[in-house]
């Protein structure tokens, strides 16, 4: 065929996984995958629509692709398509509009378009989708860690979030398919897998004919030869029970690194967000993990400036975050998203107030992260080494602990993708520990 295709991905890890899968599908169809620059015959932009800013960035990348090669085929794919298909159909920069649950059909859609048999729009009613889209990968750009998508869709309908409308209801991937992909990746040399999805905790909840859940899947993957680490993506706090945590702690492959979505440390704000837990319940889940694991890394997401958030409510959040003592916090300023209930709420917070609150929490994040990393000093640890890096004029191999704390050892040939143990004796930089073997 001889055509060249270029990809650009916006948004989450699920989008990144799906881009890898689409690239490999096009390679199998005879396309050459090239960098996102001038010279491609086809430009595929895997869009994001989580915020109005994400929508704008998606449009910008589509128009950038058109300018790079006016004769190329420009395809908008994914979440922004689901949110704005009609608008994109009217955009002269866009040739193809491909929604979610149609990414697996990309080669056939392009073939039909080039032959004159296809239309511009390939979008389904995502709310009616009940089957998991059969996407998979054989390799990833990372040399040691591979993401595996096991679930799509969300049924939570948080008041600020458009995702249930762009991704549809929960759909789980068959466990045997997940295991087959993990086995392929292990055989290709990947030592660590990361389970990801739109709402990971709901895995298996859409099946009424079988007793599948996230824990059963993890146990199945734990036995795969060559996989030394299993890391979990973002979890809802309610999945953390004493039984769940104890079962995970029995598995040697599980990384003691848990990202529990929070969004606010104030109960009144959580209620307006339509989050289905209280701060007390969230705190209990953190305590359960700390009981089951020795010094686990707990990370989270926080939104500041949600509609109606008073200074007192923000201070409640700040104090709660300090009390839980997270390893890392991803702090976001609330972004008004058209089509969500929160966008219509009264009490929208001025941007300058959001900025001040964000800076306060980012400073707290730096303090808490530094304190957590410091706990590793003069203790034994293990790194899965990933890549060489020059630090302070010297060469090192850097990698991560199971807690996702970054560390390094002096460079030696042959250390890539190897696990090394030793004692952490100091810091090479603010966030890189030195491991003495």
Answer yes or no: do 68 and 163 share one domain. no
Q: pLDDT band for position 138 (50/70/90)?
A: confident
Portion of the chain with pLDDT greater than 90, in percent: 90
The helix (run of H) or strand (run of E) holding residue 273 is: helix 267-273
What pLDDT, on a 0 to 100 scale, did the predictor assign at position 212?
A: 87
Calpha distance 232→229 (Å, rounded): 10
Is residue 296 within 8 A of residue 249, CB to CB? The reply is: no
Calpha distance 424→406 (Å, rounded): 11
208 within domain boundaries: yes
Please, is 131 exposed, middle or buried when counting C-beta atoms within 10 Å of its C-beta (0-12, 13-18, 19+)?
exposed
Nearest to 193 by CA among 272, 273, 253: 253
Per-residue pLDDT, averaged over 355-376, amounts to: 98
Q: pLDDT band for position 343 (50/70/90)?
A: very high
Is residue 75 within 8 A of residue 44, CB to CB? The reply is: yes
What pLDDT, on a 0 to 100 scale, did the predictor assign at position 142?
A: 63
Nearest to 211 by CA among 223, 221, 200, 203: 203
Calpha distance 387→396 (Å, rounded): 8
Q: What is the pLDDT of residues 80-105, one digit of tens each?
A: 999 999 999 999 999 999 999 999 99
Answer yes or no: do 195 and 319 share one domain. yes
Answer yes or no: do 198 and 343 share one domain. yes
73 within domain boundaries: yes
Strands 192-197 and 171-172: unpaired
Calpha distance 293→403 (Å, rounded): 11
Buried b (16+ CB within 10 A) or exposed e, 202-235: bbbebeeeeebbbbebbeebeebeebbbbbbbbb
Residue 230 in this model has a pLDDT that exceeds 80: yes
Domain-ending residue, one of 344, 372, 400: 372
What pLDDT, on a 0 to 100 scale, did the predictor assign at position 345?
A: 97
Per-residue pLDDT, averaged over 298-325, amounts to: 98
Residue 206 in this model has a pLDDT that exceeds 60: yes
Answer yes or no: do 154 and 119 share one domain. no
What pLDDT, on a 0 to 100 scale, did the predictor assign at position 198?
A: 97
Domain-ending residue, one of 60, 90, 124: 124
137 within domain boundaries: no
Residue 298 in this model has a pLDDT that exceeds 60: yes
What pLDDT, on a 0 to 100 scale, did the predictor assign at position 113?
A: 92
Per-residue pLDDT, averaged over 206-212, amounts to: 83
Q: Which residue segment(s) compose the domain that 149 sits in?
A: 145-372
Q: pLDDT band for position 120 (50/70/90)?
A: confident
Per-residue pLDDT, averaged over 148-176, amounts to: 96
What pLDDT, on a 0 to 100 scale, did the predictor assign at position 36?
A: 94
DSSP class of residue 407 equals E
Residue with tokens 């697996």, as numbered in its chain? 104
What pLDDT, on a 0 to 100 scale, did the predictor assign at position 404?
A: 97
- Token digits for 18? 């799906």
Residue 49 in this model has a pLDDT that exceeds 60: yes
Per-residue pLDDT, averaged over 363-372, amounts to: 98
How many domains are contained in the chain?
3
| Residues across the chain | 437
Residue 141 in this model has a pLDDT that exceeds 80: no
Calpha distance 355→334 (Å, rounded): 10
Q: pLDDT band for position 139 (50/70/90)?
A: confident
Q: Considering just the CA atoms, what is the radius of gyration of the chain in Å?
A: 22
Cβ neighbors of 74 (< 8 A, separation 6 or more) are 42, 43, 45, 62, 65, 66, 93, 94, 95, 96
Residue 1 in this model has a pLDDT that exceeds 60: no
DSSP string across 167-190: H-S-EE--HHHHHHHHHHHHHTT-
For residue 407, count other CB atoms closer than 10 A to its CB: 27
Answer yes or no: do 332 and 392 share one domain. no
Answer yes or no: do 220 and 240 share one domain. yes
Residue 124 in this model has a pLDDT that exceeds 90: no
Calpha distance 160→264 (Å, rounded): 12
Answer yes or no: do 326 and 367 share one domain. yes
CATH of the domain at 174: 3.80.30.20
Buried b (16+ CB within 10 A) or exposed e, 386-397: beeeeeeeeebb
Per-residue pLDDT, averaged over 334-345, amounts to: 94
Residue 118 in this model has a pLDDT that exceeds 90: no
130 within domain boundaries: no
Portion of the chain with pLDDT greater than 70, in percent: 99
What pLDDT, on a 0 to 100 scale, did the predictor assign at position 210?
A: 73
Answer yes or no: do 419 and 315 share one domain. no
CATH of the domain at 8: 3.40.50.12160
Nearest to 99 by CA among 79, 118, 84: 79
Q: What is the pLDDT of residues 69-82, one digit of tens each?
A: 999 999 999 999 99
Answer yes or no: do 171 and 193 share one domain. yes
Calpha distance 382→372 (Å, rounded): 16
Alpha helix positions (H), 90-204: 106-114, 163-167, 175-187
- Token digits for 165? 């409308």
Phi, psi angle pair for 419, to nearest 5°: -95, 130
Domain-ending residue, one of 124, 157, 181: 124
Answer yes or no: do 88 and 230 share one domain. no
Calpha distance 131→169 (Å, rounded): 10
Answer yes or no: do 363 and 410 share one domain. no
Kindly report the average pLDDT of the chain as a whole number. 95
What pLDDT, on a 0 to 100 scale, did the predictor assign at position 167?
A: 96
327 within domain boundaries: yes
16 within domain boundaries: yes
What pLDDT, on a 0 to 100 scale, did the predictor assign at position 140?
A: 75
67 within domain boundaries: yes
Is residue 40 within 8 A of residue 56, CB to CB? The reply is: no
Per-residue pLDDT, averaged over 255-264, amounts to: 98
Q: How far apart are the first and last CA of the chain?
A: 52
Answer yes or no: do 359 and 388 share one domain. no
């Amino acid at each position: 065929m001889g055509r060249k295709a270029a990809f650009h991905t916006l948004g989450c890890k699920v989008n990144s996984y799906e881009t890898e899968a689409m690239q490999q599908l096009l390679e199998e169809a005879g396309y050459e995958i090239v960098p996102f620059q001038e010279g491609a015959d086809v430009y595929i932009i895997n869009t994001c629509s989580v915020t109005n800013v994400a929508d704008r960035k998606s449009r910008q990348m589509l128009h950038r692709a058109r300018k790079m090669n006016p004769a190329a085929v420009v395809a908008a794919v994914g979440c922004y398509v689901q949110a704005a298909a009609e608008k994109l159909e009217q955009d002269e920069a866009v040739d193809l509009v491909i929604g979610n649950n149609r990414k697996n059909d990309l080669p056939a859609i392009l073939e039909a378009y080039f032959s004159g048999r296809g239309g511009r729009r390939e979008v389904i009613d995502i709310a009616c989708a009940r089957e998991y889209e059969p996407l998979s990968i054989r390799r990833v750009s990372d040399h040691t860690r591979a993401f595996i998508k096991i679930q799509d869709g969300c049924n939570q309908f948080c008041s600020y979030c458009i995702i249930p409308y762009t991704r549809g209801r929960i759909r789980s991937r068959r466990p045997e398919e997940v295991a087959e992909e993990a086995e392929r990746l292990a055989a290709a040399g990947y030592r660590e897998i990361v389970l990801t999805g739109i709402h990971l905790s709901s895995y298996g909840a859409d099946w009424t004919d079988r007793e599948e859940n996230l824990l059963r899947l993890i146990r199945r993957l734990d036995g795969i030869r060559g996989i030394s680490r299993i890391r979990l993506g973002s979890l809802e706090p309610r999945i953390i029970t004493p039984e769940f945590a104890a079962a995970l702690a029995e598995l040697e492959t599980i990384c003691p690194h848990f990202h529990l979505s929070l969004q606010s440390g104030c109960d009144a704000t959580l209620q307006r967000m339509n989050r289905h837990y209280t701060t007390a319940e969230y705190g209990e889940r953190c305590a359960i993990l700390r009981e089951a694991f020795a010094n686990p890394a707990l990370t989270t997401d926080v939104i500041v400036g949600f509609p109606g958030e008073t200074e007192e409510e923000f201070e409640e959040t700040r104090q709660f975050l300090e009390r839980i003592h997270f390893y890392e916090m991803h702090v976001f300023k609330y972004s008004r998203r058209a089509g969500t209930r929160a966008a219509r709420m009264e009490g929208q917070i001025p941007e300058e107030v959001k900025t001040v609150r964000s800076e306060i929490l980012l400073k707290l994040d730096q303090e808490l992260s530094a304190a957590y990393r410091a706990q590793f000093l003069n203790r034994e640890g293990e790194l899965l080494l990933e890549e060489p890096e020059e630090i302070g004029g010297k060469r090192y191999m850097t990698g991560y602990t199971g807690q996702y704390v970054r560390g390094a050892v002096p460079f030696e040939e042959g250390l890539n993708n190897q696990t090394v143990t030793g004692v952490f004796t100091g810091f090479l930089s603010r966030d890189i520990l030195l491991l003495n073997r």
